[in-house]
Amino acid sequence: MSASRIEVDLDAITHNVRLLRRVLGPEKGLCAVLKANAYGLGALRIAKRVASVPGGGATMLGVFALDEARELVNAATGLPILVLSPVRVLKRDDRLYRFAATGDLHLTAHDPENLEAIIGIADGQGVTLPVHIELDTGMSRGGASPEDARAMLERAHAHRRLRIAGLFTHFACAESDAEMTNTQRQRFDDFLRSVEHLLPEDCLVHAANTHAVFRGRELHKSMPRVGLALFGYADRATDADGFGLAREASELRPAFRWSSEIVHTRLVEPGTPVGYGSAWTSTRTTRLGLVPVGYADGYPLALSNNARIGVVIERPGEAPLRAFAPVVGLVSMDQTVIDLTDILEAKVGTRVELISDDPDAPNALPALAKQAGTVPYDLMCRLSARIERTYALSTEHEAAPQIKTPAQSLARTA
């Protein structure tokens, strides 16, 4: 096993899906968004897990591109797949053709030209395609204007090889701006009323992402599209106090941690510069530890001289303890230096945690994202494919208790 690995807690994902099902109720669908290889955690394994949760799991999988859909077909989950990007070509020799022919490949139309391309696919291959129309209500990214969206619905309604399977929008600021989110909801609701006669009874109306799910039930519609909550994050949002379901959001369980180990230690004298650019200089006799992880692995340069890395101290016959060592100097491409001076038991081979699955730890994903000036999605998607992924049950990697104040056995007097 390599020094560094990302440990995915499948039980935590099961817990989060069950929590979402409880929040949504049995009448709602749940689209598990697994873009970018399930945000870096492994789409095939995650797809199988969210589809097989006892008592009810996801009802649809969401991806951005056809390549991602092709991979998920191999998971054989039995769930339909929604492709969110504009699709204009799908050839008969594409391995997705058979999946499309069964009506399980749902395509998104963003504008009239995109819809005509989907019609061309359906007519050319003699298949009926489920299509979702995206209405832009303020995101100003993909999606159609109300006028174009109405014309697209009319065109799809009249075409024998298209099935209007969904109508949706996407919230721009669900995690941070209640006013903007409500404005988008009102625009969407107004449009829905104006085109209700064009929508079949089984049409999926969807708008809510992770943060909108916990902001309020009025945003849920018939099928939220959820990504980040599957992996245990929503309650650290900018406006989490304004969420109507904030308590439920706080019950999510982080579903992964990123660990490595110390591969080298050394003592340096006061006044010794460390790392590229000499961006940090020791002020005391300092014991440094080297962790074989850097920005090539997805540990951001912005965490230089900023973050803390968890150091797990194993104790025979007792539960392990976790102390926190500051990152010193600039993060390198594949190496990061930490200050081990106050953690006497740390040595070569000691496990460390770059991202903790303890939501209250200083190296929890939301805390690190804030320190790096970014968002949790970004940090997850940066995780390099060269880091080994392992999949386990919760009991196989329970978090060690934090050392709130350094125990005497771990403290060094300067």
Residues 170 and 108 in one domain: yes
From 250, 281, 296, the end of a domain falls on 250
pLDDT of res. 240: 67
pLDDT of res. 320: 86
Of these residues, 35, 48, 97, 370, which one is catalytic? Answer: 35
Q: How far is CA 231 from the centre of its chain?
A: 6
Residues 270 and 126 in one domain: no
Q: Report the alpha-carbon distance of residue 10 to residue 86 in Å, rounded.
A: 32
Of these residues, 39, 233, 276, 370, which one is catalytic? Answer: 276
From 199, 228, 250, the end of a domain falls on 250
Residues 167 and 71 in one domain: yes
Residues 185 and 70 in one domain: yes
Is 221 labeled as catalytic in the residue annotation? no
pLDDT of res. 398: 43
Residue 19: both structure tokens together: 């929590």
Residue 180: both structure tokens together: 């903007």
Q: Which of 247, 103, 243 is nearest to 166 (CA)?
A: 103
Is 233 labeled as catalytic in the residue annotation? no
Question: Does the predicted model carry a pTM greater than 0.95?
Answer: no
**Residue pLDDT tens, the chain, 414 long:** 579 999 999 999 999 999 999 999 999 999 999 999 999 999 999 999 999 998 889 999 999 999 999 999 988 889 999 999 999 999 998 989 999 999 999 999 999 999 999 999 999 999 999 999 999 999 999 999 999 999 999 999 999 999 999 999 999 999 999 999 999 999 999 999 999 999 999 999 999 999 999 999 999 999 999 999 999 999 766 666 789 999 999 999 999 999 999 999 999 999 999 999 999 999 999 999 999 999 999 999 999 999 999 999 988 888 889 999 999 999 999 999 999 999 999 999 999 999 999 999 999 999 999 999 999 999 999 999 999 999 997 544 444 444 333 332 333 222
Residues 240 and 276 in one domain: no
Residues 166 and 119 in one domain: yes
Residues 184 and 59 in one domain: yes
From 250, 278, 297, the end of a domain falls on 250
Q: What is the CATH number of the domain that holds 181?
A: 3.20.20.10
Residues 199 and 338 in one domain: no
> What is the domain range of residue 136?
10-250
Owner of token pair 């982080």: 254
CB atoms within 10 A of CB 283: 10
CB atoms within 10 A of CB 31: 27
Pairing of strands 308-315, 318-326: antiparallel
DSSP annotation string for 257-326: EEEEE--EEEEE-TT-EESGGG-EE-SS-EEEEEES--TTTT--GGGTTT-EEEEEEEETTEEEEEEEEE
Residues 168 and 220 in one domain: yes
What torsion do the CA atoms of 136, 139, 142, 147 make, to the nearest 10 degrees? 20
Write the Ramachandran bin of 147: left for phi over 0, alpha for psi from -120 to 50, otherwise beta: alpha
Residues 117 and 155 in one domain: yes
Q: Report the alpha-carbon distance of residue 29 to residue 206 in Å, rounded.
A: 9
Kindly state whether residue 197 falls inside one of the protein's structural domains: yes
Residues 222 and 85 in one domain: yes
Q: Report the alpha-carbon distance of residue 129 to residue 96 in Å, rounded.
A: 12
Q: Report the alpha-carbon distance of residue 182 to residue 169 in Å, rounded.
A: 13
Kindly state whether residue 2 falls inside one of the protein's structural domains: no
Q: Report the alpha-carbon distance of residue 118 to residue 161 in Å, rounded.
A: 10
Residues ≥6 apart with Cβ < 8 Å to 249: 214, 229, 234, 235, 237, 240, 243
Q: What is the CATH number of the domain that holds 281?
A: 2.40.37.10
Contact (CB, 8 A) for 7 and 42: no
Q: Which of 372, 305, 295, 362 is nearest to 339 (CA)?
A: 305
Residues 294 and 353 in one domain: yes
CB atoms within 10 A of CB 86: 18
Domain count, the chain: 2
Kindly state whether residue 5 falls inside one of the protein's structural domains: no
